[in-house]
Amino acid sequence: MNVKLKVENLSKIFEFNGNRVKALENINLEVYENEFLTVMGPSGCGKTTLLRIIAGLDTPTEGRVLLDGREVKGPGADRGVVFQQYTLMPWRTVLKNVTFGLELRGVPKDERIKIAKKFIKMVGLEGFEDAYPYQLSGGMQQRVAIARTLANNPEIVLMDEPFAALDAQTRNILQNELLKIWQKDRKTVFFVTHSIDEAIYLSDRVVVLTARPGRIKEIVEIKLERPRDRTSIEFLEYRKLLLEILKEEVLKTIKRGE
C-alpha cells in the first residue's frame, strides 16, 4: 500500500492572550492511497486542528505533514476541503460555485463547464445547475460543496464533519453517495466525525484521539464488506468497541468541564 499522506511527530500549541493550549501532541499517522480514514475523539481534542494543518490552513508547532512525500507549506489544489457549514458563494449559481476553482486555475470555459456538469450529475443535482444556494436544502448545498471539491481533482479530500448539520435520513443518503463517489473516483479521504455509526459505515480505519492534547489512542481497522449493514452483529460489535475506547476520553473532557 502506498502512503499518500504522512503526519510526522506533529504537535500544535495555540498561544493567545497569555494562554497556552496544547491541542495536539506527537501525532504520527500514515494515510494510504485510496484509503477512507476517519478521525474521532472527544470535543476539543484537536480533530479540526489536525485537518486544518493538513489542509495548510494552519501550521504545526512541531513536526510536519507530507503529501506524496512533499512537505505541506500552505493550502493547495492537491487537497480539497469540505467543511461542516455550507461554504458556497451565495451570489453564484450551483454551476458557478462548482467551476470556481477551475476558473482560478485558468481552465478554459467550455472545459470547466463540462467538468462541473459531470460532478453535479455525480452528486445527483442534474437540473439544478442554474439554482442559487438559497434555493437549495442543506443536503443539496452540501452536495454542491462536495462536487466543487471533486471538480478540482484533489489528491486527497479532507472532510470536517460534512454531514453533521443534516437530518439523519439525508445524512445516510449522502454517506452512500460519498461511498459511491469514493469507490468510483478512488480518492483518498480524510474524514472527521463525532458519529460512531458514520465512522464504521464509511471507513477503512478509524483513528481515535485522546482528550486534549490529542494523541493517537487507538487505530481500529473496520474489516467489514461494503455495503455495510448498520444492524449486523459485526457492525454493533464495532460500535461497542469504539464506544468503549471513546468513553474514557469523553469522561476526561466532561470532568474538565469542557
Ligand X SMILES: Nc1ncnc2c1ncn2[C@@H]1O[C@H](COP(=O)(O)OP(=O)(O)OP(=O)(O)O)[C@@H](O)[C@H]1O
Q: How many residues bind ligand X (CB under 6 A)?
A: 13
**Which region among 38-46, 107-115, 129-137, 149-157 touches ligand X (by CB under 6 A)?**
38-46
| Angstrom distance (rounded) from CA 70 to CA 67 | 5
Cα–Cα distance list, 46 to 1, 41, 192, 200 (Å): 27, 8, 10, 20
Choose which of 27, 36, 37, 49 interacts with ligand X (CB under 6 A): 49
**Using CB under 6 A as the criterion, what x/- string covers residues 50-89 for binding ligand X?**
----------------------------------------
Q: Which of 5, 45, 116, 189 binds ligand X (CB under 6 A)?
A: 45
Report the distance separating Cα 255 and Cα 178, nearest Å. 36
The residue range among 13-21, 108-116, 125-133, 140-148 that interacts with ligand X, by the rule CB under 6 A, is: 13-21
Q: How far apart are CA 213 and CA 45, in angstroms?
A: 6
Residue 174, amino acid: L
Instruction: Point out which span in 40-48, 100-108, 122-130, 167-175 binds ligand X (CB under 6 A).
Output: 40-48
Interaction residues for ligand X, span 204-243 (CB under 6 A): 212
CA dihedral 167, 173, 177, 179 (to 10 degrees): 90
For the sheet containing 70-71, what is the strand order? 19-32, 3-16, 62-67, 70-71
Contact flag: residue 157 with ligand X (CB under 6 A): no
Place of cell 505533514: 65
The reply on whether position 165 binds ligand X by CB under 6 A is no
Q: Select from 36-44, 67-75, 119-127, 131-139 the region that touches ligand X (CB under 6 A).
A: 36-44
Q: Per CB under 6 A, does 47 bind ligand X?
A: yes
Packing angle of the helix pair 109-122, 138-151 (nearest 10 deg): 130
Closer to ligand X by CB, 128 or 190: give it: 190
Cα end-to-end span (Å), the chain: 39
State how far the Cα of 239 lies from the Cα of 234, in Å rounded to an integer. 9
Q: Applying CB under 6 A, which of residues 6, 14, 64, 132 lies at the interface with ligand X?
A: 14
Closest separation in Å from C-beta 184 to ligand X: 29
Considering only residues 46, 101, 133, 162, which one is a binding residue for ligand X as defined by CB under 6 A?
46
Q: Where on the chain is the footprint of ligand X (CB under 6 A)?
A: 14, 16, 21, 23, 41, 43-49, 212
